[in-house]
Amino acid sequence: MAPGAKKGILERLDAGEIVFGDGGFVFALEKRGYVKAGPWTPEAAAEHPEAVRQLHREFLRAGSNVMQTFTFYASDDKLENRGNTLPFSGQQINEAACDLAREVANEGDALVAGGVSQTPSYLSCKSENDVKAIFKKQIDVFVKKDVDFLIAEYFEHVEEAEWAVQVLKSTGKPVAATMCIGPDGDLNGVSPGDCAVKLIKAGAQIVGINCHFDPMTCVKTVKMMKEGVEKAGLKAHYMCQPLAYHTPDCNCQGFIDLPEFPFSLEPRILTRWDMQQYAREAYNAGIRYIGGCCGFEPYHVRALAEELAPEKGSLPQGSEKHGIWGSGLEMHTKPWVRARAHRDYWENLKPASGRPFCPAMAKPNAWGITKGHADLMQQKEATSKDQLKVLFDKSNKSN
């Protein structure tokens, strides 16, 4: 390795190092006023680069070792879906996202990962060649910008994830692949273990889970992947980038089926102490790429880094302003707050919601539709009032 060069993702994982991912840019920037809920598209990379750059920096300071390009749902078919009209092309958004991620990664020892995700074209039953062509357009930008590795993330169907991995693998760069599934498997019932085997055979060197479920559910699902891979006599590295929301009541569709999605999820947010437990569980399960997805903020990643600091051998810069296990409270003016400056207090606390009339869990919608269903066929035109009325009526009947 040349002097001053960074170790690549596989070099780090092969050496047994812990790699911390970043968090959920789409949700974080929606809360900050730079992403629109619904299309969830990442035009902010070109429209408000200062916001994306700042969030990258906050995750870097919190301990993230990977700056993932803000290219979630940046495929052309998604950018043009259901009346979503933007002043930027997919290429412009993807290029801007790569530049921002590289700029901030160069401020520390972080790598840049270019990411692709599931497409409206697949849900609308377009051909394998059509779907792969969409991935290829994004990949061409990532190759041009020379990202360090590639991630196929947020796939509900392993078939589409395999197609994505095959396109990513053609670049010669390391490939990671994560599915947004739980213990029940993908939406066609393919088990987590079988999904992982398929992804590895397609060319992924790192496999795992992201989004849709809480950390403990995702760790459990990665364990199932690991079992399937080992049973098949294959090898891989494992990654986990879950939600920052508790989801004990979710079905196979995850948090999207919760009635609180997406605007009333705050009561479910994991505390920093929950995150430390997640970090330890993931590490003990053999997962070495540990990060987050929707709901994750920089302080959540800092908690991961603090929990595994003994194994990592260092603390992030962000810990300069955070006492481990609340030790900074030793300086508080109130004695009863100073009495909380220790691990036992925070590790055993059962946080109250402050919502006396709210249930502990919700009833998921469970419409039970997936690829090929008429309601999932995508279109460039805006959703019509007549189309919405059908959905509203169906929703009222299912509640």
Binding-site positions: 211, 293-294
* End-to-end CA gap in the chain: 59
Q: Is the dihedral of CA 189, 194, 196, 200 positive or negative?
A: negative
Q: Which long-range contacts (CB under 8 A, 24 or more apart) does 187-193 make?
A: 187/156, 187/157, 187/252, 187/253, 187/370, 187/371, 188/157, 188/158, 188/159, 188/370, 190/158, 191/224, 191/228, 192/221, 192/222, 192/224, 192/225, 192/228, 193/224, 193/225, 193/227, 193/228, 193/229, 193/231
For residue 67, give the 3-state DSSP assignment.
Answer: strand
Helices (H), the chain: 9-14, 25-31, 44-47, 49-62, 76-79, 90-105, 120-123, 128-144, 158-169, 192-202, 215-231, 272-284, 298-307, 309-312, 335-338, 343-348, 385-398
The DSSP bridge pattern shows strands 66-68 and 19-20 to be unpaired
Torsion of CA 85, 56, 143, 110, to 10 degrees: -170
The three-state secondary structure class of 230 is helix
Helix, coil or strand: residue 179: strand
Binding residues for Zn(2+): 211, 293-294
